Structure 1
Amino acid sequence: MLTRKQHELLRFIQTRLEESGISPSFEEMKEALDLKSKSGVHRLISALEERGFIRRLPNRARALEVLRQPDDTSVKTPKAAAANGNDNALAGTVAAPSIRPVVPANDVIEIPLHGRIAAGVPIEALEGQSTLPVPAALLGSGEHYALEVSGDSMVEAGILDGDFALVKRTNSARDGEIVVALVRGEEATLKYLRREAGMVRLDPANAAYEPQIYGPDEVEVQGKLAGLLRRYH
């Protein structure tokens, strides 16, 4: 059961997400609900969150997600209760609009961009200070970083020269997964990982290239592919 203000705030957030994909600011919510301070907005947000109607996305500024609509289609109004002479009771109803879950379009995070990585022969992996804005929907849990792809040895896997590989940081992977492999401690490459006869094989996805075979102590998995970003010019 929602109070009138809780319902108004939920409706306002939902409307703004549908119109622009961006959550309203606390100042905008305060003005829309004619509240005297932002502390009132905080209390309403917390109440809606506790009841499971919205979710605050961690480490994102102004990022709220509407999870569900009210269980019933009416909310109580304090004004109607006062008209009945009972300050402690809530009477009267107002119709609640249909509310659909919306994933906000401003759910974007910055991840480190560490230079270029070969999708052909191994090249040195560069550690840069740049970052890349990435839609969070492309990433799962865990720590991620990005590498710009150089070369064409993974084209049959849909990975092209100039793409940005989104990599989940890990030191383990299963056979058949696309990984960032550090070779002999100094060169990195993006390949399918295979293990056979006590050796590590890094397979390209291009018939023009041969697999690369190394001893198990020569290859260190530094991450596995989580997604791709591509720019069109």
Structure 2
Amino acid sequence: MLTRKQLELLDFIKTRMDRDGVPPSFDEMKEALDLKSKSGIHRLITALEERGFIRRLAHRARALEIVKLPEAMEKPGFTPRVIAGSKVDAPKAALPVQALVDAMELPVMGRIAAGVPIEAIAEVSHHIAVPGSMLSGRGHHYALEVKGDSMIEAGINDGDIVVIREQSTADNGDIVVALVEEQEATLKRFRRKGGMIALEAANPAYETRLFPDHAVRVQGRLVGLIRTY
């Protein structure tokens, strides 16, 4: 089963290849799916490749090959459409679409340290079903497996799965995925102090770490947690 965004991307690639004979660029895919960064497209393509729907061809730029299509797309008369730039605001009383579905599959993008920062991981390891009500807003979401115990007083334990909304800003007190000096990723509470960023643990055994503003890049904000007993 494909997520809505995965299906939209696959249909967009097929439409462009049928029309032009070549796949669209990552910038064109990002614009068509109304994503803020190309990293979201990379994750969608990786997910489609892992599921056997597309294949990336080595040593060729923009080289994608469609291997198969979902059954629904192969049925006569079914023509899914991707419409770029035509979103309208939902009525104020309307619930987000994510809250109305039972579950949505999210990519698990490896492990995130809740302790001393570890090397950032940006590869899909597997997928996990997440209740739609857990997803926050319209943005792109992904999941990470927690490694370490520095956030235990915030209720986040080693081995938990955290659900992250992809965003580049944070308010003081938010628990975020922070990329430190473009090399290490960690899950911590975010606080801005003048020209410095404090990454605070929720465990007295760990000290708060201070970094210059330019050394920390927010990758997303915690919106949910899944625990397996």
TM-score category of the 2 structures, normalised to the smaller one: 0.5 to 0.7
1:102-181 maps to which residues of 2 (within 5 A)?
A: 107-129=102-124, 130-141=126-137, 142-181=139-178
Q: Residue 107 of structure 2 aligns to which amino acid in structure 1? A: P
**What does the per-residue CA deviation read over 1:170-224, in whole Å, with 9 as the maximum and x for residues that have no partner?**
0001011100000010110000001113111100000010011111111000000
3-state DSSP class of the match of 1:222?
A: strand
3-state DSSP class of the match of 2:133?
A: helix
Tell me the TM-score normalised to structure 1 length: 0.54
- Distance in 2 (alpha carbons) for counterparts of 1:196 and 1:182: 18
TM superposition outliers: structure 1 runs of 4+ over 3 Å: none
Tell me the TM-score normalised to structure 2 length: 0.55
Instruction: Give the superposition deviation at 1:58.
Output: 5.8
Kindly name which structure, 1 or 2, has the bigger radius of gyration based on alpha carbons: 1
Q: Residue 173 of structure 1 aligns to which amino acid in structure 2? A: A
Gaps of 5+ in 1: 1-54, 60-102
**Cross-structure match for 2:187:** 190
Judge conservation of contact 1:114–1:125 (CA < 8 Å) in 2: no
Q: Residue 116 of structure 1 aligns to which amino acid in structure 2? A: R
**Cross-structure match for 1:43:** none
- The reply on whether 1:220 has 2:180 as its aligned counterpart is no
3-state DSSP class of the match of 1:206?
A: coil
Q: Residue 160 of structure 2 aligns to which amino acid in structure 1? A: D
Instruction: Give the superposition deviation at 1:128.
Output: 2.2
- Distance in 2 (alpha carbons) for counterparts of 1:217 and 1:197: 12
| Segment of structure 1 superposing worse, 140-149 or 156-165 | 140-149
- Distance in 2 (alpha carbons) for counterparts of 1:156 and 1:203: 12
What is the aligned length?
A: 133
- Distance in 1 (alpha carbons) for counterparts of 2:109 and 2:167: 15
**What does the per-residue CA deviation read over 1:37-70, in whole Å, with 9 as the maximum and x for residues that have no partner?**
xxxxxxxxxxxxxxxxxx9x969xxxxxxxxxxx
Judge conservation of contact 1:173–1:224 (CA < 8 Å) in 2: yes
**What does the per-residue CA deviation read over 1:75-109, in whole Å, with 9 as the maximum and x for residues that have no partner?**
xxxxxxxxxxxxxxxxxxxxxxxxxxxx87x7111
State the identity as a percent: 50
- Distance in 1 (alpha carbons) for counterparts of 2:143 and 2:119: 15
Instruction: Give the superposition deviation at 1:125.
Output: 2.0
Judge conservation of contact 1:200–1:213 (CA < 8 Å) in 2: yes
Instruction: Give the superposition deviation at 1:126.
Output: 1.3
3-state DSSP class of the match of 2:163?
A: strand
- Distance in 1 (alpha carbons) for counterparts of 2:206 and 2:97: 43
Change (3 A) 1:158 1:221: same
User: Residue 196 of structure 2 is aligned with which of 182, 196, 199?
Assistant: 199
- Distance in 2 (alpha carbons) for counterparts of 1:192 and 1:231: 23
Q: Residue 178 of structure 2 aligns to which amino acid in structure 1? A: A
